[in-house]
Structure 1
Amino acid sequence: MAELSRTTGVSVPMIKFYLREGLLPSGERTSPNQARYDQRHVRRIMLVRALADYAGLSIADIRELLAHLGEPGRSLHDQLGVAQKAVTPRREPGEGEEWDRAERRARELIERHGWEEEPDSPAMQAVTGVLLTAAGLGYDGMLDRLDEYARAAELIARADVAAVAERTDLEGMVELVVVGTSLGDALVAALRRIAQAEVSARLFGDDSEGPRCPKSGDGPQGGDASGPRDGSRG
């Protein structure tokens, strides 16, 4: 166990705690007081740490999630979906006419893009909540561009899933879903702000002629906004 502790950076008392809580399978007994641990135990400890540190799951939630891994009859897609759902913040569904309208708008958006999602899933509840808030604040510009947000989200999702597919073991895949979602959200948010500053500079940096209204598709691949800010050409 000391070697397992050195390899993972997790203390021996914490490893014993994982064993007691059923989060880590027992090692192969080599004597009454000794056990051999292998790479499977290393991967499991790293996964448990990711679920606790990055996703903020409780021990009970981690135990429940781990129980689904390798469950007979579950496809890889289903098992990764369980992991994703576990790390998606939950919110209580709303009620009233405004909530119903936002929920309908969210459902129509998902259907337009050919996606499938349970109406009461944490992700759908989150989308509905955002649309409800945006409508209440009168952010029609955002609501009119929902399909652009959805197309961007699918591009990001393709990159996410491609990275997961490079892993060869289930626990490594689940770990990447958990950690990758948290890190990916932070990365996308940071890149979005950098891109916003760049697009704003292209549109409004020289306002001598007044701001130019951005068009759908403006960006690196099209429109006047695609060139460098100083107007030079390569």
Structure 2
Amino acid sequence: MRISELSSRSGVSIATIKYYIREGLLPAGRPVAANQADYDEDHLRRLRLVRALVAERGLPVSTAADVLAVLAETGTQNGTDGTDGTDEDGAAGGEGRGVHRVLGRVFGAMDTARDRERAASEAGLTEVRRLVTAMGWRIHPRSAAVPALARALDALDQLGVRIDCRTLLPYARLAERTAEVDLDLLAAAPAGSDLAEHAVLLTVLLDPALLVLRRLAQEHHSAARQPDPT
């Protein structure tokens, strides 16, 4: 297909498609003439994924590029390249380890340079570490999620809302149940599917839907607590 058809089918303007190509988010088309290129269904799928990351999820272009780089690097490590299911160290049972590594790579790519520049307070980090200990979670010492949560607590604290480990525990238990569903869905991915892409879809692009579900639940319970059902 020509770039005009790619634009029409994806809903992304031609100018934006060319920008994504320049930034390395979308592979260039196959040249067919001096100023023309041909695109296929793989380009369309990739473009829709890029649009979801940038326009729907709101990721900076540089962060989206990092996430897509993870997809490119890990796409052949899920058994579709003829590997025998061992991990990169040659140990058996590599499938589970593969999911863990893919998630780690995806989460690392989501840790933007802009976020890393905002140092978390020691008080915030202490509360997050207390939470991790209380939940018995196995978290990597360099996990980007720990300072990210601490920065969120810092922002609340600056506005006069103090959230500590005890307050977070009920939320952490709910998050743990959600994570179990995520991992079950990843484990149930069809054979031969792209594990890294599934990880992105279920852990990155599903986030906005989970936020909306929370809003719906809040609306319901708020209405249920009113004396007048209407």
Please indicate, yes or no, whether the TM-score normalized by the shorter chain is above 0.5.
Answer: yes
| Alignment match, 1:66 | 68
Shift, 1:16, TM fit: 2.2
Which of 37, 43, 46 matches 2:45? 43
Which of 206, 214, 218 matches 1:180? 206
TM-score (norm 2): 0.65
Distance 2:71 2:206 in 1: 18
Is 2:132 the counterpart of 1:110? yes
Instruction: Pick closer, same or farther for the CA change 1:185–1:123 going to 2, 3 Å.
Output: farther
Shift, 1:80, TM fit: 3.6
Shift, 1:53, TM fit: 1.2
Shift, 1:147, TM fit: 2.9
Which of 171, 190, 195 matches 1:149? 171
Instruction: Pick closer, same or farther for the CA change 1:5–1:77 going to 2, 3 Å.
Output: farther
TM-score (norm 1): 0.64
| Alignment match, 1:22 | 24
Shift, 1:8, TM fit: 0.9
Aligned residues: 198
| Alignment match, 2:94 | none
Q: Kindly provide the CA deviation profile for residues 31-54 of structure 1, in whole angstroms up to 9, marking residues without a partner as x.
A: 555443222211211121122113
Distance 1:20 1:45 in 2: 13
| Alignment match, 1:54 | 56
Which of 79, 95, 102 matches 1:79? 102
Shift, 1:143, TM fit: 4.6
C-alpha contact (below 8 Å) 1:109/1:146 kept by paired residues: yes
- Please report the RMSD computed on the Cα atoms of aligned residues, expressed in angstroms: 3.8
Gaps of 5+ in 1: 206-228, 230-234
Distance 1:190 1:17 in 2: 36
SS at match of 1:26: coil
Runs of 4+ in 1 over 6 A off after TM superposition: none
| Alignment match, 2:7 | 5
Matched to 2:40, the amino acid is D
C-alpha contact (below 8 Å) 2:128/2:150 kept by paired residues: yes
Is 2:119 the counterpart of 1:93? yes
Shift, 1:180, TM fit: 0.8
Identity of aligned residues (%): 34
Distance 2:20 2:152 in 1: 38
C-alpha contact (below 8 Å) 1:160/1:180 kept by paired residues: no
Shift, 1:152, TM fit: 1.0
Gaps of 5+ in 2: 75-87, 89-96
Summarize the alignment of residues 212-231 of structure 1 with structure 2, pairs less than 5 Å apart: none
SS at match of 2:181: helix
SS at match of 2:126: helix
Instruction: Pick closer, same or farther for the CA change 1:116–1:185 going to 2, 3 Å.
Output: farther
Distance 2:137 2:32 in 1: 51
